[in-house]
Structure 1
Amino acid sequence: MPYQREEELERAFGLLIALMADMITAQATQHDPKAEVPGWMFSQHDLAKKLFRHMCSARTLLEPSPFQNQTIPSRSFIDHSSIAVLTRSSLENYLVMTWLLSGGNQSLQEFRHNVWEYCGWKKRSKMAATTNDARTVRQAAEDDAVALWPEIQGSPHFQNYTEAQQKSLRKGDWGVGWNWNDLALEAGLHRTYFTSIYPFLSGHVHSDFIGAIQNGQANNLQDQYMLGSGHLMVIVMLLGHFAHHYAGVFPPARNVLHGAGEARVIAEKWNLRADDMDFLYQPRE
C-alpha cells in the first residue's frame, strides 16, 4: 500500500546520524591507551555508542517489517510502538550523559560518576547467580561497590542528601534526589515538551492503555508511519543536542562538527532549547 513519507525528516536523520558516527569515531581514534583518563570519559563514549545504536534501530523500524507468513504479507506493518520504546530509551540515555557531566563542575562530575558506577555494581551484586562464573562476577561487583563507597560517603556532595536519601543511595538507588523532569531541564529541554512526550513514550514501554489503543487503531501503513515518524522527530532533536554536547566535551568531535557543512547547519536547526519552544506553550488568554 503506498503512503506518504517525511522525506526531509528522514534526510535530516541520515545526515545527523552520520555526523554522530564521525564524532564518536574521531574521539575514539584519538584515545591514548597510555594516558590517565577519567572514568567519565569512557562512560561518555560507551553511552554515545549505546545511543547511536538505539537511534539506528529506531530508524530501521520505521521501514515496513519483512515478517510474513500465510496470513501476514511482507511489509504490511510498521512497529511504531517499538520506535516509541527506543525513543524513550534514547531520551534517558542522553539525559544521563548530560547529568554525569554536571555543567563543568569537576567535583560534582566525579561524585555523580561514582554514584552511577556504585549503583551499577550494587544492582549486579543482587542478581541471581547459578554458576561458578556468575558467582565470581557477582562477587567482583560487590567488591567494586564496597571499594567505591568511601569515596561517595566522603564527598561534600553526599552531605546534600537527606538521611533517607543517603540510605537509599547506599542500597544502590542512584536516582535519589532527582527525577527525569529535573534532568531534562538541566539538559536544556522545555519542561512542557518533556512532560508531555516522556509519559506518552513511557506508555508504550509499560503497556499503558494509550499504547495499546494506538496499536489497535493504527491499522494501515500511513497511520503507523505517521506515529513512528513522530517519534523519529524526537530522535532527530536529540541528535542536534548530542552534536553540541559531544563537541563541548571532546575536541576531536568538535573539529568534526565544525567541518560538517550542511550537517552542522541541520544540527544547529534541531538543537532546540527551552527558549526556542516557549512560543509553542504560551498560556491561553
Structure 2
Amino acid sequence: MKPSTLPDTSVDFALLLELFGRLIEVQAGNPLAPDDQWKNHAQVLLIKVFRHLESIETIFKGVSTSLEGKAYPHYVDHASIAVLVRAAFETYMMFHFIFCAKTPELRHLRYKVWE
C-alpha cells in the first residue's frame, strides 16, 4: 500500500487514548483499604499502556533530518513502533489477566504471582 492510500486512523487513535485516560481515572477519589493497596497497580499498568500508546503516536509522526547540509527524507521508525505495540499489548494483557479475573481471590492470587 502506498502511504497516500493508507486510511487516516488519527481519530480512532485519539479515541483509544481518551478511553484509556478514562480507564486510568475510573477509581480516582476512591480510597483503598490498607489490605487493598495492591490494587493500585491496576492504574500503574494502565498508565504504562497509555504512555506506550503516546510514544507510538509520537514516533508514527516521523522525522526529517539533515546532516552536514544533506537532507534526509521523512522517516518513520516502524521497528520501534512494533516494539512499543508489543509492550503495550503485553502490559494490557497482564492487566486484564490480573484485574479482570472473575473473583477477588483469583485477582489477588494472580497479582501475587505477577509481583
Q: TM-score range by the shorter chain?
A: 0.7 to 0.9
Deviations along 1:190-238, whole A, 9 cap, x unmatched? Answer: xxxxxxxxxxxxxxxxxxxxxxxxxxxxxxxxxxxxxxxxxxxxxxxxx
Which is bigger in relative contact order (C-alpha 8 A, separation at least 6)? 1
* 2:49–2:92 CA contact under 8 A, matched in 1: yes
CA 77–25 in structure 1, closer or farther in 2 if over 3 Å, else same? same
2:19 partner letter: L
Could you say which residue in structure 2 is the equivalent of 1:177? none
How many residue pairs end up in the alignment? 112
User: Identity of aligned pairs, percent?
Assistant: 27
Query: Unaligned regions of 5+ residues in structure 2, if any?
Result: none
Deviations along 1:100-152, whole A, 9 cap, x unmatched? Answer: 135222222111111222xxxxxxxxxxxxxxxxxxxxxxxxxxxxxxxxxxx
Query: Unaligned regions of 5+ residues in structure 1, if any?
Result: 118-285
**TM-score by structure 1 length?**
0.35
* 2:23–2:46 CA contact under 8 A, matched in 1: no
Could you say which residue in structure 2 is the equivalent of 1:18? 18
* 1:65–1:74 CA contact under 8 A, matched in 2: no
CA distance in 2 between partners of 1:111 and 1:26 (Å)? 23
Task: Give 1:1-285 correspondences, 5 Å limit.
Answer: 3-4=3-4, 5-7=6-8, 9-28=9-28, 30-32=29-31, 35-36=32-33, 38-70=36-68, 73=71, 76-101=74-99, 103-117=101-115
1:14 partner letter: A
Deviations along 1:7-51, whole A, 9 cap, x unmatched? Answer: 1x22111122123213323433x232xx40524421110000000
More strand by share: 2
Could you say which residue in structure 2 is the equivalent of 1:142? none
Q: Which has the larger radius of gyration?
A: 1
Give RMSD over aligned pairs: 2.4
List structure 1 runs of 4+ shifted beyond 3 angstroms. none
* 1:17–1:52 CA contact under 8 A, matched in 2: yes
CA distance in 1 between partners of 2:19 and 2:92 (Å)? 16
